[in-house]
Each structure stands twice: as structure tokens, then as C-alpha cells.
Amino acid sequence: MYKEKIKITSIDVDCNFELKLSSLFKIMQEVASNHCETLGASHYDLLKYNLLWVVIRMEVKIYKSIKLDDVVTVTTHAGEQRSFIFPRYFQIYSKSGELLVNVSSIWAVINKDTRRVDIRPQGIKIAKAEHDKNDMPLPEKVSGSGSVVVDERVVKYSNVDINSHLNNTEYIAFILDTHDLEFYKHHRLCGININYDKEIKFGDKVALLSNKGETREVVSGVVNGVNHFTAELEFDKR
């Protein structure tokens, strides 16, 4: 079990002094990356074999909001590898040990040139599977899709990452930006399940489509008429 203590700073929070979901995803990405580095399976280690890590699905349950200046403990561990699927789990705890956030995710390894999943990646070190009593089931496919265009974004330099595509945390920023500040003053995001179906690249024009319910919303990202991601969001009223 890998652990890191993180202090929440002003750049991590929104107008409610609460940790933004996009910031949460960035924290998890860095903690997972640091864990992989200790195992000899970092980005640089995979590049030796012309491979890249990518996240396919991620489900997040937020039981209690994390706020400015909070110091939290982020734990992560790998689950049992299933064919080309690499499960990874995260739990985030308060100073007192209260479980604040619970996450399950599915990762895969792709070929850097073909951008296709490598079914049997050779040479990379696989983390030993661990289990925690709080582990959630692996994320399922999001049912439904967005139906009404609510925003359009073009992927630019600041949105891409070391894999030269839209970073998984930027998908979250795109989704959250479909609502205004007034919405977030009266609603708290308490969960998200996102399926990353296709790679979004620099210069792509992403149409964001929404299907809104009272406490549930489905947002899809469409490029050239093809669905590239779908996310299901849950909100509580403040």
C-alpha cells in the first residue's frame, strides 16, 4: 500500500473553498505515478518498451468535501491484473482517519506509435495485487449519453500531457465548466463515473452534450460525430 500526505492549497480549490474534482484527479494521477516509479513501472520505464499508461475508466465517490488547508492521506494500490486490464484503487482519509473519498479505476498499457492497447505488455514490472476493505467494485460502463450541446472546446497546448493527448484531468475540467458558479454555490458534486472511450488529441474540437436530471447528469464528449467519453455525475443540493 502506497501512501502520501497532501496539503490542499489555494490553487486546488473553488469558490466554496472546496477541492475541485479536476484537482482531485491531478492528485491521484501524481500519487499513482509516484507509486509506479517506486515499482520500476514509471512513464520513463514504459517508454523503454514504446509503451504508455492510460486510464480507461474511473469512478469516484466523495463522502465529505475536502477543503482549503486540509491535510489528507492518499493511499493507492494495484488490484489483480485481468488480461490487459490493470485495476487501481485510491482512498483519501482525513487526519482523524475518516474516509473522505473512495475511487476505483481501470488502466491499460498502449503502444506509443499505434495507440492501441497492448494485450500482453512485455518487460514492464507489474505491481503486486493488494486489497483494502474499502475497495469499491471496478467501474462499469456508463449508461446513457448526453443529448443537448451545452459547450464546445478546442484542445490546446495547455490541455495536453506527456502522452501528447488531452490529459484525463482536463476531461474533468471540460465537464465541470458546463455549469456556472451559481450552480456550484447550490450543488455539491458527490460522485462521478467516467469512461474514456477514445483518445482526444491536440486541435480536436469537442462538443459537450448533457442529459440533466434532478441529481444525476450524463455528459458526453463528441469529436467529429463520434463519442469519445461519457461521464455520469451525481450532485447533492447544499
Give the relative orientation of helices 21-39 and 168-176 as an angle to the nearest 10 degrees: 170
**CA 213 to chain CA mean position, Å:** 22
DSSP letter at 155 equals -
Q: Is 145 exposed, middle or buried (0-12, 13-18, 19+ CB in 10 A)?
A: middle
> Looking at domain 148-237, what is its CATH homologous superfamily?
Hotdog Thioesterase (3.10.129.10)
pTM for the whole thing? 0.93
Return the CATH architecture of domain 2-111: Roll (3.10)
> C-alpha cell of 206?
469537442
> C-alpha cell of 104?
476505483
In the chain, the N- to C-terminal Cα span, in Å, equals 35
Q: Tens-of-pLDDT digits for all 238 residues of the chain?
A: 999 999 999 999 999 999 999 999 999 999 999 999 998 888 899 888 899 899 999 999 999 999 999 999 999 999 998 878 899 999 999 999 999 999 999 999 988 899 888 877 776 777 889 999 999 999 999 988 889 999 999 999 999 998 889 999 999 999 999 999 999 999 999 999 999 999 999 999 999 999 988 789 999 999 999 999 999 999 999 8
Q: Where in the chain is the domain with CATH 3.10.129.10?
A: 2-111, 148-237
